[in-house]
Structure 1
């Protein structure tokens, strides 16, 4: 069965202002992280930290996602264009965000926050890791709604037909609908790779990480599980996702199949395995729920 993608990427038109579904998905991801993080703070999963301090961590992490995601996309996927037009770095409205860049941005924000609060960096990362997958899932749903980052042809008479794909560069909406109704577009059906990623990186990772972190784990363990899962899932989905054509040979860096997404995900897989190994010889952080006698602090003690 084939589906013709006909979702309007703009959720609301408020005069000259347009609110895109992609932006709403980002907002939902941050709201989910805020709500879930509050539950973990109240359960004492990051001892010595209250909701106000967590709000600061979330704010800086949001900045890290946006700035790191944009800078990472430009440097990893569009560096040649950046050399020609450096101002493109600031034209965020044109699209282009990188998960790996966003991850580096979040890690930078978490490092700065952990240092200012005298907390071990990986205690913060282990705390944050289970809060990330909902945002990844919402983000991939935003990609699907926007009809971008589509997959390769299914070749089986099933999949999704994306009007924004190069196949239909000069087609009108009426032409697409008429040809689809006549069954003439089945050969253009593609893998909805955005939905694969939403399911794996969003739902599956959230369930596994939330369960895995539901009881105290050694330092590095939750971060290691996050890196390993994401790296493996992203590496696999890249086989059915259309790579960025401006990179390498039609999007492939080597062997006729290796993509930039796979290259960037390989270190995550290795780091995940290393951190999981490191966790076997690391201490376990025990929860310390706040109490009247021992309230959490929003800032490190002086002296």
Structure 2
């Protein structure tokens, strides 16, 4: 079965996008893993499948490269707005609103959630800060912005061995649905320097929901003011938020190429 796809990225966080609104596409964990293989498939951080929605202009389902699913993806949301012109996108984590603003795209990711059972955590505990530690990473804020995040504030985010600590924290029993892990440092100009270990994808050049969660956590801690620039290895995102309001994210969305692939030819 041959299908058309789009390769896109938001600040280096890359996606394969299938528009299945007119022609349905069944995705299994095995197919997602095969497509995500950068040697024998196409390669991506997340696979995006677009389908019709009764609640929005379209629905976006998100598969990680390991075959698991995510509830929301900020960088992918911007890419879908840029690709389709959709202004509302239904996700498992809620409805996202978006619009092109000049050369960039802004999306409203909904209101962040902070209660322990909204993250979710395995046990009731404070989430600001969370009374847990893993080696030099301690006392993060827990924030759900459509999917769950921990936000650690450190002196130098580049000095943290996230390749080691990221998978340990992601799979800690404290997080029954696993967790995304962010380490951020406050720069002299008031911006945030961020690295993210994404649940199911590992280290990525940028994570949109990670930038949203970390921006919100920094504003709540009064480490930053809204809007705040979040600097990732892939580029910059502008995060705006006030209590009781949705968190908004603005940044680039890039279409790389359109291709076709024979799905039946992929390794089982």
TM-score between both structures, scaled by the size of structure 2: 0.25
Q: Which has the higher contact order (CA 8 A, sep 6+)?
A: 1
Whose helix fraction is larger, Structure 1's or Structure 2's? 1
Whose strand fraction is larger, Structure 1's or Structure 2's? 2
**Structure of higher CA gyration radius:** 1
TM-score between both structures, scaled by the size of structure 1: 0.23
